Structures are given as structure tokens and as C-alpha cells.
């Protein structure tokens, strides 16, 4: 049985919804156990967002999700990261988690584990691909095995429409005011990414044990 961890950060809820779709995909792979955890929020951001109703409602919906621990990261056979873009790269909240995991980097605790990224941007050209590709760099330092979203399984990507999904990551477009709802093809691709990481984790279990 493979254990899949989904670690995400979400201010306005899009990445949280994507995390649930990723989880559903992973759970569809027989014998997979899935755990969803969130990245801790910064006090400064809580303060800055204290009058933002959408943020407040979204955080309430996420209240029962536990915060990620090093034990979670060690427990997992495969890890998916939910990374909304901030200026084309990962948010500081997520980077803080990765930096605080320096001891896991040193001990090689995440080496050989399959990994994948799902992301969200405000606009279609605001960092869909750069966020995934730059997150990949950090994950390579941990020695993880990056799993993408191939065209063969995800024909929805072959489009000129403004939807998420690329060979590098599952994704959604939140809209400039976070007003857009994630679409079914975006959730479907997110689910396929979860399933793919779960399958790779199962296949690699012998190698990593
Ligand atoms: C400080 C900050 C920087 C952002 N930078 C970008 C950006 O570079 N490009 C972009 O398309 N969206 C940008 N956004 C929009 C977020 O990516 C968007 O709100 C997020 O993907 C929505 O996901 P969520 O609902 O899970 O929070 C930024 C938002 C904030 C708060």
C-alpha cells in the first residue's frame, strides 16, 4: 500500500479545491492511503487579509486540515505540492516549509519519492508554467522524482482556451480577482496527476524500501 501526502497552501480556496481533486485521483488507485495537510499561514498575511471576506471564509473551510509536519513528509511514499503563484514562483509560506525541512534534505529522507505539483495563477500568463518549473528545482534538491502531466493522458491541454494544465503541473486559473471557478477539465487533470504519483509511488516502493 502506498501513502500519498498532499501539501498545499491556499489563500482563497482554489488550490484547496484542487488538492481535494488530486486526493480523489490518488485514492482511486487501489491500496493508496491519502493524507492532506496545509502549509502554515504567516501572521502578517492573516493581518493583511483580515478584511477580506473570501479569504476568511476560505480559511474557515480549511480549519480542520492539519498543518504539515516533518513526520508527514517522512511518512509519505509520494508527495504532491499545491503551490499558488506569487510573482511567478512559489509563495514564501511554502518556501518556509521547504527551508525548515533542511534536516530532511541533509538526511536524504525524501530521496527517491515521486512528487508532483499543482498550481493556480490569477491570469493565464501570470506564472502557470514558471511556478511549476521553479518549484521543481527545490524538489530536485531533495532528490525527489518529478512526475508531470503527459499530453497522452491529458488531451485537454491541447487547446487555445485559457484553462490550466501543462506538461509540468496540474493547474487552474483563479482570475484577476480570484473570481473564476475551477473547471471540470482542470479538476480532471488534477485527479490524473494524483493518480499518476500514486501509481509511481507504488511502483517505486521496492526501490525505496
Ligand atoms: C502577493 C501575490 C502575488 C501574486 N502574484 C501573481 C502572479 O505573479 N501571477 C498571477 O497570475 N497571479 C498572482 N497572484 C494571484 C494568485 O496566484 C491567486 O490569487 C491564486 O492562485 C489563487 O489561489 P487560491 O485561491 O488557492 O489562493 C498573486 C497573489 C498575491 C496575493
User: pLDDT digits over 136-169, tens only?
Assistant: 999 999 999 999 999 999 999 999 999 999 999 9
Atom of ligand 1 nearest to the CA of 123: 11
% residues pLDDT > 70 (the chain): 100
Q: Can you tell me the distance from the alpha carbon of 41 to that of 51, in angstroms, rounded to the nearest whole number?
A: 16
Contact assessment for residue 166 and residue 129, using Cβ atoms and an 8 Å cutoff: yes
Q: Which pLDDT score is estimated for 112?
A: 96
User: Which residue's C-alpha comes closest to atom 31 of ligand 1?
Assistant: 86
Q: Can you tell me the distance from the alpha carbon of 119 to that of 164, in angstroms, rounded to the nearest whole number?
A: 9
Q: What is the pLDDT of residues 166-201, one digit of tens each?
A: 999 999 999 999 999 999 999 999 999 999 999 999
User: Rounded to 5 degrees, what are φ and ψ at 184?
Assistant: -60, -45
Q: Which pLDDT score is estimated for 209?
A: 66
Q: Can you tell me the distance from the alpha carbon of 36 to that of 165, in angstroms, rounded to the nearest whole number?
A: 21
User: Which residue's C-alpha comes closest to atom 29 of ligand 1?
Assistant: 86
Q: Which pLDDT score is estimated for 207?
A: 78
| 89 close to ligand 1 (CB < 6 Angstrom) | no
Q: What is the pLDDT of residues 69-119, one digit of tens each?
A: 999 999 999 999 999 999 999 999 999 999 999 999 999 999 999 999 999
Say whether pTM exceeds 0.95. yes
Atom of ligand 1 nearest to the CA of 8: 26
Beta strands in the chain (DSSP E): 2-8, 32-38, 78-84, 114-121, 145-146, 170-173
Set of cell numbers at residue 207: 526501490
Span 2-208: which CATH code? Answer: 3.40.50.360
Give the rounded distance of the alpha carbon of 50 from its chain centre: 25
Q: Which pLDDT score is estimated for 205?
A: 84
Q: Which pLDDT score is estimated for 8?
A: 98
Q: Can you tell me the distance from the alpha carbon of 3 to that of 35, in angstroms, rounded to the nearest whole number?
A: 8
**Short-list 76, 19, 18, CA closest to 200:** 76
Q: Give the distance (Å) from ligand 1 centre to CA of residue 86.
A: 5
Q: Give the distance (Å) from ligand 1 centre to CA of residue 85.
A: 5
Contact assessment for residue 161 and residue 204, using Cβ atoms and an 8 Å cutoff: no
Amino acid at each position: 500500500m502506498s501513502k500519498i501526502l498532499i501539501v498545499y497552501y491556499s489563500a482563497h480556496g482554489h488550490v484547496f479545491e484542487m488538492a481535494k481533486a488530486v486526493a480523489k485521483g490518488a485514492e482511486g488507485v487501489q491500496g493508496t492511503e491519502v493524507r492532506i495537510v496545509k502549509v502554515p499561514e504567516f501572521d502578517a498575511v492573516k493581518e493583511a487579509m483580515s478584511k477580506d471576506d473570501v479569504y476568511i471564509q476560505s480559511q474557515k473551510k480549511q480549519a480542520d486540515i492539519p498543518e504539515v509536519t516533518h513526520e508527514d513528509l517522512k511518512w509519505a511514499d509520494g508527495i504532491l505540492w499545491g503551490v499558488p503563484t506569487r510573482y511567478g514562483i512559489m509563495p514564501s509560506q511554502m518556501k518556509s516549509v521547504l527551508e525548515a525541512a533542511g534536516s530532511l534534505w541533509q538526511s536524504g529522507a525524501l530521496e527517491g519519492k515521486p512528487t508532483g505539483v499543482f498550481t493556480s495563477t490569477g491570469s493565464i500568463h501570470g506564472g502557470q508554467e514558471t511556478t511549476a518549473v521553479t518549484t521543481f528545482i527545490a524538489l530536485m534538491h531533495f532528490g525527489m522524482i518529478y512526475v508531470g502531466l503527459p499530453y497522452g493522458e491529458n488531451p485537454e491541454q491541447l487547446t487555445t482556451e485559457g484553462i490550466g494544465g501543462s506538461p509540468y503541473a496540474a493547474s487552474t486559473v483563479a482570475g484577476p480577482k480570484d473570481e473564476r471557478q475551477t473547471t471540470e477539465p482542470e479538476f480532471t487533470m488534477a485527479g490524473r496527476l494524483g493518480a499518476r504519483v500514486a501509481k509511481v509511488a507504488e511502483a517505486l516502493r521496492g526501490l525505496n524500501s
